[in-house]
Structure 1
Amino acid sequence: MALLNWWQPLRKMLIAPAVLGRNGVLGMNARNRLYISRYNNRAFYPLVDNKLKTKRLAEQFDIPVPELIDVIESQHQVADLQRYLQLLNSFVIKPSKGSGGKGILVLQGRDGDHWIKSSGALVSLQEIQRHVSNILAGLYSLGGTPDVAIIEHCIQFDQSLVGFSHEGVPDIRVIVCRGYPVMAMTRLATHSSDGKANLHQGAVGVGISLLTGKAIFGVMQGQRVKIHPDTGEDLARLQIPHWQTVLELAARCYDVTGLGYLGTDVVIDAERGPMLLELNARPGLAIQMANGQGLLPRLRKIDQLSHAEIRKPVAERVRLSQQWFAD
């Protein structure tokens, strides 16, 4: 990994918070003030805070997304859930307004009257009904407001990524500012993360070179890692397939949503290639840890761009980002 030597200065930065800004690390207050408040019109937030709206918007603009099976909107539908699921072997149930990976239930197979989680645990129809009822009640939604449950097809991730994720589908987070990709990482599921690609729950974060799509740095729960803790796979070998398509898909989300600072989460399906999973108007900052460098120098470059440069075609914006931010 080309940037493993970044880890030592980064550790010192963690010990001395005053040094963060001088080393280009974006903090939460600066993110909120300089980028989220500055570039994100709050009127557009519902487009990304509601996964169902995001999915329908993406489909409207021909951005690939996991296929929608059904939407559960009422407790009456929960009682009739067996009819919805009786022919399904694998599927995903998620809250439309959930955040941080909460409330997502991934079922990858079936054993008689039970479904099988990625960990191998069996889940009964009654447990699924209880989970959906909790979603509708707002247990996982932003602000605890009533929600709807989305049922969609389960991703079968690209074979080139097998071994880099355990019990779950890896995803790719790309930070996009004013239509330009500025930093990327992949999140790899582990046993401790219960098969979810969520860093706060124990997934591995690996920084990805914008130029090549190759791994440059790996972290797990704040500690540097070189191999996947469950599979033993050398993270330095990781190469994201369809990399140019991933970046162009991420950059297009700016044009579609009008949000100038956002996180795009992409998955690589074995048959359909890159697909948009969800969008985030308040993307987290751990991507800097996974890359071993701060966001600020890159974002300041984007701040200086003219209106004409922001209106360049997607492919040209991606090409310039790769040129400016090559590792």
Structure 2
Amino acid sequence: MDWISPRALNRLGMLNMNRRNVDYIARYNERSSYPLVDNKLKTKLAVAEYDVKTPKLLQVVKQQHEISRFREMAEGLAGFAIKPAKGSGGKGITVITGRDGDSFVKASGARVGASVLERHLTNILAGLYSLAGTPDVAIVEDLVESAPSLARYSHQGVPDIRIIVFQGYPVMAMLRLATTDSDGKANLHQGAVGVGLDLSTGKSLNAVQFNRPIKLHPDTGLPLENIQIEAWDEMLEMASRCFEATGLGYMGVDLVVDAQHGPQLLELNARPGLAIQMANGRGLLPRLRAVERLKRPHFTPRERANYAMKNFASL
């Protein structure tokens, strides 16, 4: 952030962490809803009732003895993802992208045997990756294959789209692209690229890495100025539906565009970070306040998405 002065940040309406925590997360998020978004399995089940698509669930491992079924389940699969239900920040996620004889090929290209994945499932159950270190559940999902139009911009990892949703209204969005620095993960703190997106069109605005502006992806070398997200209207409406599904007033909705199945929800976050503002080159506060000032809120996800596209265009 150091290339923008504090005065300029205030002018841009930047939301800081204290204000986010007190005025938005604490005020608009019921504590009772947190377990729903902090558990990926509960999230999948909840959003399914509101026509929000997620990657196909292949197996749920709740007890140690259920791990014995993993090899049989994975026998005919070329790719899948293993995730801790209560993990955060991408910890504990193992992505398998192919097979090489009896070995499974990870996204990094490394080969591992079934026994390695079974040990990983055991570690998940023991709570090695869970938010509080408590016993967890492992879920095995269908592999997300990113749409080629986006996949070419990312290094190894699947690019995703983070949308901040406030009171059911999409208010800001960015594309997250994995890099060598981020070890193939779409995590901005680890060095992924954040690309701000115009809410009205789904087109790229600005791009940052480590909070500094960039023009080209550091690994692919591709320019980041003319990216267009497919099915943008659908994605905004899908993000808006998550408000009804969870009751959370302030959250981050993480979506992907699958090559076969279109937009899908990866996960929800009740405490989304603030780097999205740097990627967009503008602050969240004006948009959050605009929603708070509405005298007649819109009742359907489609209406709220339309409002956002019309009123939060990044001109």
Interval containing the TM-score (normalised by the shorter chain): over 0.9
Q: Which of 136, 145, 152 is the aligned partner of 2:125?
A: 136
AA aligned opposite 2:307: L
Aligned to 1:154: 143
Identity %: 55
Counterpart in the other structure of 1:116? 105
Q: Does 1:298 align with 2:290?
A: no
**Structure 2 residues without counterparts, runs of 5 or longer:** none
Structure 2: how far apart are the matches of 1:94 and 1:121? 18
Matches within 5 A, 1:177-192: 177-192=166-181
Instruction: Using structure 1 for the length normalisation, give the TM-score.
Output: 0.92
Please give the alpha-carbon distance, in whole angstroms, between the structure 2 residues aligned to 1:282 and 1:135.
Answer: 23
Look up the match of 1:208.
197
Conserved in 1, the CA contact under 8 Å of 2:207 and 2:224?
yes
Report the equivalent of 1:11. 3
**How far, CA to CA, are the matches of 1:198 and 1:169 in structure 2?**
11
Q: 1:138 to 1:21 in 2, by over 3 A?
A: farther
**Structure 1 residue 80: Cα displacement:** 4.5
Matches for 1:264-303 after TM superposition, within 5 Å: 264-303=253-292
The separation in 2 between residues aligned to 1:162 and 1:138, in whole angstroms, is 32
Counterpart in the other structure of 1:325: 312
* Pair 1:229-2:221 in alignment: no
- RMSD between superposed Cα atoms in Å: 1.6
Provide the rounded CA distance (Å) in 2 between the counterparts of 1:293 and 1:141. Answer: 33
1:192 shift after superposition: 2.6
In 2, Cα distance between equivalents of 1:68 and 1:83? 15
AA of the residue aligned to 2:3: R
Contact 1:90 1:107 (C-alpha < 8 Å) held by counterparts: yes
SS where residue 93 of structure 1 aligns? strand
Q: Distance in 2 between matches of 1:312 and 1:59?
A: 19
Q: CA deviation at 1:71?
A: 0.7
Query: Hey, which bits of structure 1, 4+ residues long, moved more than 4 A?
Result: none
Verify the 8 A CA contact 1:264 1:278 in the aligned structure 2: yes
- Counterpart code for 1:85: A
**8 A contact 1:96–1:147 mirrored in 2:** yes
What SS does the corresponding residue of 2:4 show, helix, strand or coil? Answer: helix
Code of the aligned partner of 1:162: A
Structure 1 residues 120-129 or 143-152, which shifts more? Answer: 120-129
Match for 2:300 among 286, 310, 313? 313
Tell me the TM-score normalized by structure 2: 0.95
Contact 1:40 1:261 (C-alpha < 8 Å) held by counterparts: yes
Residues 244-284 of structure 1, C-alpha deviation per residue, up to 9 Å, x if partnerless? Answer: 00101001111111111111011101121111111111111
Question: How much has 1:152 moved relative to structure 2?
Answer: 0.3
Name whichever of 210-219 and 194-203 sits farther off. 194-203
What residue number does 1:37 align with?
26
Contact 2:79 2:98 in 1 (8 A): yes
Count of equivalent residues: 314
Q: Which protein is richer in helix relative to its size? A: 1
CA drift of 1:204 comes to: 0.9
* Equivalent residues of 1:164, 1:238 under 8 A apart: no
1:3 is aligned to none
1:193 to 154, 176, 182: 182
Per the alignment, in what secondary structure is the counterpart of residue 229 of structure 1? coil
For 1:178-237, what per-residue CA distance to the aligned partner results, in whole angstroms no more than 9, with x for missing partners? 111100001111223222211122211110000110110111122221111111111112
Q: Is 2:174–2:276's contact at 8 Å kept on the other side of the alignment?
A: yes
1:28 alignment partner AA: M
**Cα distance in structure 2, aligned partners of 1:238 and 1:19:** 27
